[in-house]
Amino acid sequence: MITDSHGRHINYLRLAVTDRCNLRCAYCMPEEGLKWLQRSELLSYEEMLRLCRILVKEGIEKIRITGGEPFARKDIMGFLEALSQVEGLKELSITTNGVLTAPFVPELKRIGVKAINLSLDTLDKQRFYDITRRDELERVMDTLTALLQHEIEVKVNAVVMARRNTMDIIPMAELTKDNHVDVRFIEEMPFNGAGKQYEALEWDHVRILDEIRSRYPNIHKVKDAPHSTSYNYCIPGHKGNVGIIAAYTRSFCGTCNRIRITPHGRLKTCLYDEGVFDVRALLRSGMEDEAIAGALVAAVKGKAVDGWEAEHTRHAGNLVSESMATIGG
């Protein structure tokens, strides 16, 4: 079992398989100029599988594949299938922007992927283009339809941005009316690849909830799953719930059970740290699995108590501003 020095049991890995993406969401990366990792800098599928096997043996039960855009990496399905067969892994899930995902949905169902987070910030074609800088709303909606048809649990994640898509909060919440889908609204974080200081957050979780409540005064709180990062609410008569993720105000860190591996193989024990350990170097050093496991377990011990502390551990001048695609979200 992996535990940190605050007594938290760590059983959830978020693994970013690429930094590349076919969208350019304004909150995540600049339109151009990002330096993509070279192939040799990325963990290979073999390295990731080995790492996952090691971590599952140590107590990781759930793995979420993310990126960049996971389906933008060549041969991702072969990797997912191999990962789904790792002994001891209880849950394999994926976060995707949905542009390339629809054709893979039957295959995902077959290999046992039970839950997909679909990132979608608006249902309006023009605003989708303005936010993502690509005209791909239709293909994302096809993915949503395919996931629902195949009864794969789907959560839609929408980043709320002042002056960009706050008018979409209610239409997005309406998706929960007739569909078995949860819609979660995420506070915008500074991980935008722009390398500049973050401006004060205008739409925090309180304001987002007020907006939802103004349309649905009868919403009520439902019990959140253990380790949930979202505060969840039921709108009477709706099939799905709405949730709010206080990703910037960081009020959920106390029950954190997760670690992250970046596309270039750094261990992050908190979203807000700058990467605490070079796992890729270990995997390429000829070290035995047991020794790698020992090093990883020791590194996780030092996990910060919360995202604020993690942010303070950054080196001077290294502001939180890297693209979320280099972390995995």
Per CB under 6 A, residues contacting ligand SAM are 21, 27-28, 66-67, 69, 95-97, 119, 157, 159, 186, 188-189, 191-192, 247, 324-325, 329
Q: By CB under 6 A, name the one of 2, 13, 15, 25 that touches ligand SF4.
A: 25
Name the residue with tokens 């979409």: 168
Look at residue 24 and give the partner it binds from ligand SF4, ligand SAM, none, a contact being a CB closer than 5 to 8 Å depending on partner kind.
Answer: ligand SF4
Look at residue 283 and give the partner it binds from ligand SAM, ligand SF4, none, a contact being a CB closer than 5 to 8 Å depending on partner kind.
Answer: none
Cα separation, 278 vs 153, whole angstroms? 34
CB of 72 to ligand SF4, least distance (A): 8
Which of 72, 143, 137, 67 is closest to 104 using CA atoms?
Answer: 143
CB closer to ligand SAM out of 144 and 325: 325
Q: Which of residues 66-105 bind ligand SF4 (CB under 6 A)?
A: 67-69, 97
Q: Is 259 in the site for ligand SF4 (CB under 6 A)?
A: no
Which phi and psi (to 5°) does residue 175 adopt? -55, -25
Query: Between 45-58 and 289-301, two packed helices, what is the crossing angle to 10 degrees?
Result: 70
Residues 6+ apart with CB under 8 A from 89: 52, 56, 60, 61, 62, 63, 83
CA 139-141-147 angle, 5° bins? 105
Cα separation, 184 vs 169, whole angstroms? 10
CB of 29 to ligand SAM, least distance (A): 8
Look at residue 262 and give the partner it binds from ligand SF4, ligand SAM, none, a contact being a CB closer than 5 to 8 Å depending on partner kind.
Answer: none
CA 57-324-266 angle, 5° bins? 40
- Number of chain positions touching ligand SF4 (CB under 6 A): 13
CB of 20 to ligand SF4, least distance (A): 9
Looking at residue 35, what DSSP letter applies?
A: -
Look at residue 65 and give the partner it binds from ligand SF4, ligand SAM, none, a contact being a CB closer than 5 to 8 Å depending on partner kind.
Answer: none
Stretch that binds ligand SF4, among 16-24, 32-40, 41-49, 50-58 (CB under 6 A): 16-24
Cα separation, 227 vs 139, whole angstroms? 32
Residues that bind ligand SF4 (CB under 6 A): 21, 23-25, 28-29, 67-69, 97, 119, 324-325
